[in-house]
Homo-oligomer: A and B are copies of this chain.
Amino acid sequence: MAAALPPALARLVQALTRLPGVGEKTATRMALQVLRWPRAQARELARAVGELHDRIRLCSRCQTFSESDPCPVCADPRRDTTRLCVVEDPGDLLAVEKAGAFRGRYHVLHGVLAPMDGVGPDQLKIRELLERVRAEGVREVILATSPTVAGEATAGYIADLLREMGVEATRIACGIPMGMDIKYADRQTLQKALEARRRA
């Protein structure tokens, strides 16, 4: 019975269900938790949500979310300017950055090609990517979109454009995740892992 949920609580539950992976049950649990917090802690969350859009914009170079323009990575003179890692969204950039295995710069597409949903090359930051490659003397573009159908198609599309420009396009490797028992890997991953085998 919805009558049992006070309106102020119902409004928060409603707002929380728009978060990824949050259904009504989880949202209710979260909202009840917020009520148990000290009032100051709730204000902190409210403030953090409220000011987010005011403070964050897109870096005009790599298109990631940033408070400064250019973003800290683009502004860092120690980063290798000849290599560009292309990712689908800012979350992927954070993941690669956290892995700490890449010292070049990034370019965020903000999506993948999805013609059925009306997402073509013009809806992604592909024009911006090609302009950067031209202007910044990039020699290698690492296509780090996800190994999904749409991610592969997007990588393939961009790779063709880059090759026409005479720029090297590479693709991140697919295979068994580290630490995973191969019997739990799906068939396609196993096929990819076998195809991409190297001398031990």
Contact = CB atoms under 8 A, between A and B. Distances in A.
B100 A8 contact: no
A96 to B, nearest CB: 9
Contacts of A157: none
Contact of A46 (B18, B33, B46, B91): B46
Nearest to A73: B4
| Interface residues of chain A: helix, strand, loop or mixed (majority) | helix
Q: Oligomeric state, in number of copies?
A: 2
Give the size category of A's interface with B: 35 or more
B91 A28 contact: yes
A5 B94 contact: yes
Nearest to A96: B4
A45 interface: yes
Contacts of A90: 32, 35
A67 to B, nearest CB: 4
Contacts of A67: 6-8
A56 B1 contact: no
B4 A33 contact: no
A64 to B, nearest CB: 8
A8 B56 contact: yes
B48 A8 contact: yes
A97 interface: yes
Nearest to A55: B8
Interface of A: 1, 3-9, 11-12, 14-16, 18-22, 26, 28-35, 37, 39, 41-53, 55-56, 65-68, 71-73, 89-91, 93-94, 97-98, 100
